[in-house]
Amino acid sequence: MSTSGERAAPGRTVVIGLGNDWRGDDRAGLETVRVLREELPAGGAPGVAIVEGGGDLTELIDVWAGADLAVVIDAVRTGAAPGTVHRWAGTAAAPGWRYSSHALGLADALGLGRALGRMPGELLLIGIEGERFAIGAAMSPAVRAAAARTARDLARTLCGPGRTPAGERSR
């Protein structure tokens, strides 16, 4: 996993984008955090670490342990229309994460984190419904648009009162 800031520490928020750049819509989580970095003001949002994750989801446990809030974004396949954004709060495995293109799935990381007592205070899972997952596939327009919308929404939330995302003007 790569970070653009420190790993989560007590009192912090960590936003984790998961995916695989070589599998079309599977890069939805990565795309979301990349756009999020662009949307945040210079210097980012105070107390927020942004992390890109790929194959080893057991690293999630180290990344989110001690955080007040962890937001995990990944592509899912639930049968909804491509680009649909799903949100699940809490530590229960979300339906779209039962199977994964990662070595271990998010449900496995959640179970291991719970067993080890290394969970964030609060967890938000954001799943972006994918369509194309073949190796070498392009990201579908609906998923790319959903990733951008999700990033803008997160930027507004993370900036808090009195701060404006980079792509918006203060009023």
What domains can be seen in the chain, in order of their start residue?
A: 13-159 (3.40.50.1450)
Residue pointed to by tokens 């293109």: 101
Where is pLDDT greater, at 69 or 96?
A: 69
Sheet of strand 48-53: strand arrangement: 2-3, 48-53, 13-18, 69-76, 122-129, 85-89
Greatest Cα-to-Cα distance within the chain, rounded to the nearest angstrom = 47
- Express each pLDDT in 45-91 by its tens digit: 889 999 998 767 778 888 999 899 999 999 999 899 999 999 998 76
pTM for the structure as a whole:
0.84
Dihedral angle at the C-alpha atoms of 74, 7, 49, 20, nearest 10 degrees?
-30
Nearest 5 degrees, angle CA 10-CA 98-CA 88?
Answer: 50
Structure tokens at 53: 């994750």
Structure tokens at 103: 């070595």
**For the residues 5-24, what does the mean pLDDT come to?**
78
Do 34 and 18 touch, CB atoms closer than 8 A? Answer: no
**For the residues 18-22, what does the mean pLDDT come to?**
93
pLDDT score of 170: 41
pLDDT score of 134: 95
- Express each pLDDT in 120-163 by its tens digit: 999 999 999 999 999 999 999 999 999 999 999 999 999 876 55
Q: Residue 168: how many CB atoms within 10 A of its CB?
A: 13
Confidence band (pLDDT; 50, 70, 90) for 7?
very low
**For the residues 3-30, what does the mean pLDDT come to?**
79
Tell me how long the chain is: 171
pLDDT score of 130: 96
Structure tokens at 57: 């989801």
Structure tokens at 58: 């057991």
